[in-house]
Amino acid sequence: AQSVTQPDIHITVSEGASLELRCNYSYGATPYLFWYVQSPGQGLQLLLKYFSGDTLVQGIKGFEAEFKRSQSSFNLRKPSVHWSDAAEYFCAVGANTGGFKTIFGAGTRLFVKA
């Protein structure tokens, strides 16, 4: 069955430090992969997506993610975190299960300390 695992429930980093949020997926075919960010009480904002091609994808707000097929991973990175990056981050896979749907991970809450 298709699934997405985000092993870290929450992460705290200092402002200006680098960030890596982990994501592993389980899907039989070549996946469509997404990272979304959600501020409290708000909707889902797409940070970046991977469909095919270059395995390092660039997104908005200085984020990037690398698709590693051998590890079934799609980790999100940012070289220097800003206080405004504090939010919940969801990794997701687009799965074709008869119809196409998006399967989300449980999310990682990012805290940024001054």
Partner 1 sequence: EPEVTQTPSHQVTQMGQEVILRCVPISNHLYFYWYRQILGQKVEFLVSFYNNEISEKSEIFDDQFSVERPDGSNFTLKIRSTKLEDSAMYFCASMGTSGNPVFGPGTRLTVL
What is the binding site for partner 1 (CB under 8 A)?
32, 36, 41-44, 46, 49, 51, 90, 92, 94, 97-107
Q: Can you read off the two tokens belonging to residue 11?
A: 């992460």
State the minimum distance, in angstroms, from the CB of residue 72 to partner 1: 19
State the minimum distance, in angstroms, from the CB of residue 67 to partner 1: 15
- 99: phi then psi, degrees, rounded to nearest 5: -120, 170
Of 15 and 38, CB closest to partner 1 = 38
State the minimum distance, in angstroms, from the CB of residue 12 to partner 1: 18
Of 15 and 109, CB closest to partner 1 = 109
Which amino acid is residue 5, in one-letter code? T
Q: From residue 78, how far is each of 4, 21, 82 by CA, in Å?
A: 21, 9, 10
Q: From residue 8, how far is each of 19, 81, 100 by CA, in Å?
A: 12, 17, 27
Of 70 and 99, CB closest to partner 1 = 99
